Amino acid sequence: MKPTQEEILQHRIWRHFSQGIAQYELLEDGDRILIGLSGGKDSLALLEFMARRASIYKPHIELEALHVRMSNIPYKTNTSYIEHFAAVHHVRLTVKETSFDLSTDHRKNPCFLCSWNRRKILFETAKELNCNKIALGHHQDDILHTTLLNLTFQGQFSTMPARLRMKKFPITIIRPLCKVTETDLAQWAVLQQYERQEKLCPYETDSHRTSIRHLFEQIEKIAPEARYSWWNALNHESKLTEE
């Protein structure tokens, strides 16, 4: 019988997901992994596929999930939905709330401050739950966009690595969706009827990253193989793993 569209897509995502884990050695026996669950399609897919991976005997891994609410940014996620989603996949979810004060914290823009505070809570919670790894839902497009962003605005050939061993903390950041495309994840979210965030972040479309996304789309129209050329360059220069 001919496979369905959903079966074909699931197989392709699982294949790329598994390739990324194997190629960049993201999992080890005995890992306790904290999944950053924002409630967006990427983090939901990450939890779903990590839960499936955890059901495989070797390597044996244990999963926890964390959802961080940023109280002073006017976006909204249905917490009940993500709590149910995590429970269905047998992953314990912790929910925490934090904030920052734009009137007194002038270090960077709101996107930086939001990310910095979320990351701080992630590290603190990983330590509390005795997790040695934090899994984030960045996909291949995120990694390639970051490469172009850093080249354009910082003059550096660098990106978000698939595996990053922190120097100041006994924690490793992993990105198991590193070889999965955003297009595949968007299609999977529709087929699985993931619930969309109720209200998106107001800063989401007002950033250099949004401009870079559009630029990358234009580059791919000119050279469809650019994605793979850039990925090979990142691999060749060992930019996808950092000890």
**35: three-class secondary structure by DSSP:** strand
pLDDT at 89: 97
Query: Domain residue spans in the chain?
Result: 5-242
pLDDT at 203 over 60: no
pLDDT tens digits, residue range 93-137?
A: 999 988 776 666 555 666 677 777 888 999 999 999 999 999 999
Q: Can you give the pLDDT at residue 107?
A: 58
- Answer whether residue 230 shows pLDDT above 60: yes
Q: Residue 1 pLDDT > 90, yes or no?
A: no
CATH of 5-242, one of 3.30.1360.10, 3.30.420.40, 3.40.50.620, 2.40.110.10: 3.40.50.620
pLDDT value at residue 78: 85
Which single residue is written with the structure tokens 């392709």?
12
Chain centroid to Cα 38, Å, comes to 9
Q: How confident is the model at residue 76 (pLDDT cuts 50, 70, 90)?
A: low
Distance CA 211, CA 215 (A): 6
Q: What is the residue type of 192?
A: Q
Average pLDDT along the chain? 90
Q: Give residues with Cβ within 8 angstroms of 80, minimum separation 6.
A: none
Give the per-residue pLDDT at 175: 98
Helices (DSSP H) in the chain: which residue ranges? 5-23, 41-54, 79-88, 110-128, 140-153, 182-191, 208-222, 226-236
